[in-house]
Amino acid sequence: MDFLNAIVAILNYVFVPATAYGAQLALGALGVTLIYGILRFSNFAHGDTMAFGTAMTILVTWGLQKLGLHFGPLPTALIALPFGIAITAAFVLATDRAVYAYYRKVRAAPVILVMVSVGVMFVMNGVTRFVIGVDEIQFTDGARFVISAKGFREATGLAEPLAIRTTQVLTVVLAGLVVWALFWFLNKTRTGKSMRAFSDNEDLALLSGINPNHVVAVTWIIAAALATTAGVLYGLDKSFKAFNYFQLLLPIFASAIVGGLGNPLGAIAGGFIIAYSEVAVTYAWKKVATYAIPGFEAEGLMQLLSTEYKFAVSFAILIIVLLFKPTGLFKGKAV
Amino acid sequence: MKKLLLATAAAALTAGGAFAEDVKLGISLGFTGPLESMSPAMAQGAELAMKEVSDSGKFMGGAAVVPVRGDSTCVDAAAATATVERLVTTEGVKGVVGGMCSGETTASLQNVGIPNGMVMISPSATSPALSTLEDNGLFFRTSPSDARQGVVMTEIIMEHGIKSVAVTYTNNDYGKGLADSFAEAFKAAGGTVTIVAAHDDGKADYSAEVGALASAGGEALVIAGYIDQGGSGILRGSLDTGAFETFVLPDGMIGDTLQNNFAAELAGSFGQIPSSEGAGKEKFIEMASVAGFDGSSVYSGEAYDAAALIMLAMAAAGSTDPSVYKEKVMDVANAPGEPILPGELGKALELIAAGTDIDYQGASSVELIGAGESAGTFREIEVKDGKIETVKYR
């Protein structure tokens, strides 16, 4: 019984939240890595693209709710998601036409493109706040829990609760589907193959007749779709606040770099590594140890690091990886 | 044109003449920054007291009191210091109502107030660190120290029969000060604090903090944070995972957001905010609504009291020199004496002139203790049936 309690405690406070958070980071990191692999620069505006996409989805969600449309136990925002993606893709393509296209034409160095993306980030930042405001917005509806803490306690008689939110399940399932679709697209379709060719060797790809404008446009559309999906899932699971998406940029970049920039598999692994390390290293193991080892009475909290240092953990991992494997855990491009 | 110029010159002359007798008081509050929504009602509270004293015609032989506003920004210590510097050296104020937030107040007090021998009375800086600051008797506050809130919170928790709690605080002067003073008071009262964990505001994810707090355990969770910031994330995470059922909510956590987003799930949770009641408060709210602002706004009454204390101390000392009247602040604020409520500043000036002691009560039942800070009354609240309800004042 005590052993079960220990397992439930780990599931509830470490496994479930870290998995959901990891899936959100992985989706974000995929977008960053895709831009890096194909367009060859680190897109700092990605966090704010997520915020913009989520803001658009929220607006459509409100519209749908006004019309009385609901999605049963699932959040209405899922119906609004494709619309949000479409608007964001259009916005991102317009940005590319207005800003990035010029720097590609003059063959600017990647570091200049990075600075340009910082500029775009600030503009997007402002646009998002202008449209939807700076306040915290809860836009999830439908059933809140798959398993609620109270229900689980009553059903099993265990002392420890287990809660799984609908949005957590949704995040993991949807992230899995999106990743599967992305890999299928990159490996099986003609456009996907031309994107990979363009990423591997731009000159050779151009010589073999691949249309660069087409590749760039498709890349932006996919990145917008990934960003909006990641943003909406994060917003459903926690809440929407424009400033938080800006903060999210750091762990997303850490994930992408740990996994290996430009490598989609690495982005996913990186997302989960960062999320698990943040939650697990700062977890106080006292309760679990007391349950798991009979007759054991923990003195302290059995916490490796206090929670203030959770960001230090992900960045320590980042530095160690860069020192010993500069291309990331999965072979990406050198930074 | 010539006439106009002449008229302006004449007006300027007469204005200048009147100015010679005027006493200027500075108001240094965060008109921009994170507490910008609270500042206007506070400044208006202070100005209401100044207007009342000016209109009475009994202050320093009929002198008028002129407010000078300055922006302390609440978060930027350098900007606040520059503001108070300007008020003191350029404007020549004789006393300052301010600053607003603890860190900024400490900086402007140490860099400008103390070197220039200027009296500063803050209506809203609550950090316990300000109690022990070496201030040459120049600094007072009409708000209670968070050390006091820690003690009150301990009493309330003990009365609920709770003996062990986990504590999380927002990682700044306010959160750390409140969490430390509470942990100390709670341990002294025989309670157990299982963990004191910081959380940072505006972060993406709070699962790590909630996990650590849950593992440490306790019968209730004390959240010394902001409801519009990380406090919300911690509360949501703890409720969803079933980590805690009872929450203790200090002043930063009590607001509209709590009522709208959480109240339905918080049955049995409780907390406290500095807030006063009684005849003085009601009188002040009434006067404020006549003057066209909301007197029930947080710390507005305290600002009125801060300004009133400076002026009454000046009257009692018969001097506008800060180094002279600073000795009188505690005298006019505390018993013995005739109790003075808002709207009775004219009467207070008459009593002082007649040599009678006064006991200034004001809008926030002022009683200065220790190094010159309010003993403070707190409103105890409890969440019942999805509503935040007032239990009692203490």
CB contact under 8 A, A239 and B203: no
Q: Write out the residue range of the structural domain in which residue B187 sits.
A: 147-275+377-393
Distance from the B30 Cα atom to the nearest Cα atom in chain A, whole angstroms? 20
Q: Is the peptide bond before A68 cis (omega within 30 degrees of 0)?
A: no
Residue of B nearest to A18 (CA): B207
Q: Do B300 and B254 fall within a single domain?
A: no
Q: Which residue has the tokens 């944070």?
A: B225
Banded pLDDT at B26 (limits 50, 70, 90): very high
pLDDT at position B200: 85
Residues B12 and B127 in one domain: yes
Structure tokens at A24: 């959100």
How buried is residue A319: exposed, middle or buried, by Cβ count under 10 Å (0-12/13-18/19+)?
exposed
Can you give the pLDDT at residue B13?
Answer: 46
Burial zone of B125 (CB within 10 Å; 0-12 exposed, 13-18 middle, 19+ buried): buried
Q: A286 vs B216: CB contact, 8 Å cut-off?
A: yes
| Nearest-10 crossing angle of helices B279-291, B300-317 | 100
pLDDT at B321 over 90: yes
Chain A residues within 8 A of B204 when measuring between CB atoms: 21, 234, 238, 244, 247-248, 251
Is A251 part of any domain?
no
Closest CA–CA distance from residue B244 to any residue of chain A (Å): 10
At B146-159, the pLDDT tens digits run 888 899 999 999 99
Among A residues 200-239, those touching chain B with beta carbons less than 8 Å apart = 234, 238-239
Residue carrying the six token digits 């009593």: B351
Inter-chain contact B198–A238, Cβ cutoff 8 Å?
A: no
* Count of structural domains within chain A: 1
Task: List phi, psi (to 5°) of B268.
Answer: 95, -10
Q: What is the mean pLDDT of chain A?
A: 88
The pLDDT value recorded for residue B67 is 95
Q: Give the model's confidence band at B20: pLDDT under 50 very low, under 70 low, under 90 confident, else very high.
A: very low
pLDDT the model gives residue A271: 93
Tell me whether residues B241 and A17 touch, CB distance under 8 A: yes
- Set of chain A residues whose Cβ sits within 8 Å of the Cβ of B214: 9, 12-13, 287
Would you give the end-to-end CA distance of chain B in angstroms?
Answer: 65
What local confidence, expressed as pLDDT, does residue A298 receive? Answer: 67
When pLDDT is averaged across residues A11-26 and rounded to a whole number, the result is 91
Work out the minimum CA distance from A278 to partner chain B, whole angstroms: 7
Q: In terms of CA atoms, which chain B residue is nearest residue A281?
A: B208
Q: What local confidence, expressed as pLDDT, does residue B9 receive? A: 52
Report the chain B residue with the minimal C-alpha distance to residue A277. B208
| Window from B24-38, B43-57, B104-118, B332-346 with minimum mean pLDDT | B24-38
Instruction: Using CB atoms, pick whichever of B199, B210, B216 lies closest to residue A301.
Output: B216
How many pairs of residues across A and B have Cβ atoms under 8 Å apart?
107
Half-sphere exposure of A32 (CA within 13 A, CB side): 36
pLDDT bin (cut points 50, 70, 90) of residue A28 is very high
- The burial class, CB within 10 Å (0-12 / 13-18 / 19+), for B157 is buried
CB contact under 8 Å between B240 and A21, yes or no, is no
Instruction: Mark whether B34 and B89 lie in a shared domain.
Output: yes
Report, as an integer, the average pLDDT of B276-302.
88
Considering only CA atoms, give the Rg of chain B: 23
Amino acid at A30: L
Contact residues on chain B for A13, CB-CB shorter than 8 A: 207, 210-211, 214-215, 241, 243
Q: Which of residues 252-291 of A touch B (CB under 8 A)?
A: 275, 278-279, 282-288
Whole-angstrom CA distances from A236 to A88, A231, A310 are 18, 9, 23
Residues of B in contact with A286 (CB under 8 A): 215-217
**Does B6 score more than 60 pLDDT?**
no
Q: Are residues B217 and B271 in the same domain?
A: yes
- pLDDT given at position B31: 87
Q: What is the pLDDT of residues B257-268, one digit of tens each?
A: 788 788 888 888
Q: Is B293 found in the same domain as B236?
A: no
Higher-confidence residue: A294 or B344?
B344
Distance CA B11, CA B9 (A): 5
Q: Which residues of A touch B202 (CB under 8 A)?
A: 241, 243-244, 247
Per the structure, the count of domains in chain B is 2
B261 contacts in chain A (CB < 8 Å): 138
Q: Is B46 helix (H, G, I), strand (E, B) or coil?
A: helix
From B197, B208, B241, residue closest to A161, measured CB to CB:
B241
Closest CA to B159 of B217, B224, B220: B220
Contact present, A226 and A178 (Cβ < 8 Å): yes
Tens digits of per-residue pLDDT, A178-205? 999 999 999 999 999 999 888 888 888 8
Residue A335 has pLDDT above 50, yes or no: no
Q: What percentage of chain A has pLDDT greater than the value 90?
A: 43
Alpha carbon of residue A92 to chain centroid: 18
CB distance B214–A21 less than 8 Å? no
How does B368-379 read in b/e, with b if 16+ C-beta sit within 10 Å? bbebbbbebbbb
* Cβ atoms of A166 and A142 closer than 8 Å: yes
The gap from C-alpha B283 to its chain's centroid, in whole angstroms, comes to 19
Residue A165: closest CA among A70, A238, A115, A271: A238
pLDDT > 70? residue B10: no
Q: What is the CATH number of the domain that holds B253?
A: 3.40.50.2300
Distance CA B353, CA B312 (A): 11
> Are B262 and B389 found together in one domain?
yes
Q: Across the interface, which of B202, B210, B233 has its CB nearest the CB of A13?
A: B210
Q: Mean pLDDT lowest for which of A169-178, A267-276, A287-296?
A: A287-296
For residues B228 and B98, membership in a common domain is answered with no
Residue A54: per-residue pLDDT: 95
Which stretch, A204-208, A323-327, B65-69, has highest mean pLDDT?
B65-69
Report residue B245's pLDDT band, with 50, 70 and 90 as the boundaries: confident
Domain presence at residue A51: yes
B109 DSSP assignment = I
Q: Does A134 touch chain B (CB under 8 A)?
A: no
User: Using DSSP, how many helices (H) and how many strands (E) does chain A show?
Assistant: 15, 2
- Annotate B322-338 with b (16+ C-beta within 10 A) or e (fewer): beebbebbbbbbbeebb
CB B99 within 8 A of CB B108: yes
Looking at the fold, whether B203 and B219 belong to one and the same domain comes out as yes
Which H or E run includes A164? Answer: strand A164-165
Same domain for B40 and B72, yes or no, is yes
Q: Across chain B, where does the E strand assignment appear? A: 23-29, 65-71, 96-98, 120-122, 139-144, 164-170, 192-199, 220-224, 247-249, 270-274, 338-340, 358-360, 368-369, 373-374, 378-384, 387-393
The per-residue pLDDT for A30 is 93
Residue A52 within any structural domain of the chain: yes
Rounded-to-integer distance, Cα B262 and Cα B382, Å? 13
Question: Does the CB of A303 have a partner CB in chain B at under 8 Å?
Answer: yes
Q: What is the ipTM of this complex?
A: 0.78
pLDDT band at B14 (very low <50, low <70, confident <90, very high): very low
Element holding B298 (H helix, E strand): none
Confirm whether A324 is domain-assigned: no
Instruction: Yes or no: say if A233 and A167 are a contact pair by the CB < 8 Å rule.
Output: yes
Is-contact A264 A34, C-beta < 8 A? Answer: yes
Among A234, A241, A284, the residue with its CB nearest the CB of B195 is: A284
pLDDT at B313 > cutoff 50: yes
Give yes or no for a contact between B373 and B346, defined as CB atoms under 8 angstroms apart. Answer: no
Q: How far apart are CA A4 and CA A210, in angstroms?
A: 57
Q: How far apart are CA B348 and CA B358, in angstroms?
A: 7
**Do B260 and B160 sit in the same domain of this protein?**
yes
CA distance B211 to chain A (A): 5
Which amino acid is present at B349?
L
Q: Answer yes or no: do B204 and A243 touch at CB < 8 A.
A: no
Domain that holds residue A159: 2-245
Residue with tokens 């503009």: A123
Nearest to A149 among B199, B203, B241 (CB): B241
Specify the CATH number for the domain of residue A84.
Answer: 1.10.3470
The residue length of chain B stands at 394
Distance to chain B for A160, nearest Cα, Å: 9
Q: Which residues of A touch B194 (CB under 8 A)?
A: 301
Residues B21 and B70 in one domain: yes
Lowest-confidence segment of A56-65, A95-104, A233-242, B344-353 by average pLDDT: A233-242
**Residues 6+ positions from A265 with CB-CB distance below 8 Å:** A259, A330
**Is the model more confident about B42 or about B257?**
B42
Instruction: Among A27, A310, A311, A314, pick the best mutation site for testing chain B contact (most B Cβ within 10 A).
Output: A310
Residue A272 lies in a domain: no
Asked if B387 and B259 sit in the same domain, the reply is yes
* A315 occurs within a structural domain: no
Give pTM, 2 decimals.
0.74
The confidence score (pLDDT) of residue B208 equals 84
Residue range B43-65, pLDDT digits in tens = 999 999 999 999 999 998 889 99
Q: Looking at the predicted structure, is the pLDDT value of residue B233 above 70?
A: yes
Closest approach of chain B CAs to the CA of A4, in angstroms? 15
Contact residues, chain B, for A18 at CB < 8 Å? 207
Residue B225 phi, psi (nearest 5): -140, -165
On whether residue A306 sits in a domain, the answer given is no
Return the percent helix, strand and coil in chain A, to nearest 5. 75, 5, 25
Is residue A286, in this structure, part of any structural domain at all? no
Structure tokens at A104: 């590609």
Yes or no, beta carbons of B242 and A163 under 8 Å apart: yes
DSSP, collapsed to helix, strand or coil, labels residue B197 as strand
- Alpha carbon distances (Å) from B387 to A128, B255, B259, B382: 33, 12, 7, 8
Average pLDDT over residues A18-38: 92
Which residues, in sequence order, are CB contacts of B309 under 8 Å at separation 6+?
B121, B140, B142, B329, B332, B333, B360, B362, B366
- Stronger pLDDT, A88 or A151, i.e. the higher one: A88
Q: Which of B377, B386, B384, B305 is nearest to B348 (CA)?
A: B305
Kindly list the residues from chain B whose CB atom is less than 8 angstroms away from the CB atom of residue A282. 208, 211-212
For B19-171, list the strands marked E by DSSP.
23-29, 65-71, 96-98, 120-122, 139-144, 164-170
B-chain CB neighbours of A149 within 8 Å are 240-242
Work out the percent of chain B whose per-residue pLDDT is above 70.
Answer: 95
